Amino acid sequence: MAVATRIELVIHSVEQGRRAGRWRLTIHDYEVVCELLGKLERPRPAGPPMVRSLAERTVRLRNAAADLACAAMTTHGELAWMLSECATALSPLTDGAIHPYRLSPAEASDAETALDQIQAFLDSAERHSGRP
């Protein structure tokens, strides 16, 4: 299963829980989300894609996976589950099994799309949390 598809399913599940009232951001969750958003490199702009080498793209994705895993360890409940699932989906990029030159441009694009989805969800959760 493509990374972006897997992330989409995880986010959909959490969104359903949020709409059903099973999950609301606690103050601690809000702080974790804000800190994580500060660490993650912003999504690609809507214009023409930035020219980056495959190695640079892989490093960005590996860093994001590590940040997601670390954030998952600092919280619990739905947010911890979601962050750990996202980190797991990106984990092949963190274990050294995929050398930057073995990661195809299509695989990198798929993982970048997944990362954009994660960031969009976190941005939305932060905005709709009712926190300052």
SS3 labels along the chain = CCHHHHHHHHHHHHHHHHHCCCCCCCHHHHHHHHHHHHHCCCCCCCCCCCCCCHHHHHHHHHHHHHHHHHHHHCCCHHHHHHHHHHHHHHHHHCCCCCCCCCCCHHHHHHHHHHHHHHHHHHHHHHHCCCCC
Over residues 64-88, the mean pLDDT reads 94
For residue range 22-44, list pLDDT tens digits in order: 888 889 999 999 999 999 976 55
Residue 92 has pLDDT above 80, yes or no: no
User: Does a structural domain hold residue 132?
Assistant: no
User: Does a structural domain hold residue 34?
Assistant: yes
Q: Which domain holds residue 120?
A: 3-14+24-41+54-127
User: Does a structural domain hold residue 48?
Assistant: no
The predicted model scores a pTM of 0.84
- How many structural domains comprise the chain? 1
User: Does a structural domain hold residue 47?
Assistant: no
User: Does a structural domain hold residue 49?
Assistant: no
- What band does 127 get if pLDDT is binned at 50, 70 and 90? confident
Residue 105 has pLDDT above 70, yes or no: yes
For residue range 13-25, list pLDDT tens digits in order: 999 988 898 888 8
User: Does a structural domain hold residue 66?
Assistant: yes
User: Does a structural domain hold residue 35?
Assistant: yes
User: Does a structural domain hold residue 114?
Assistant: yes
The b-or-e profile of 43-54 (16+ CB within 10 A means b, else e) is eeeeeeeeeeeb
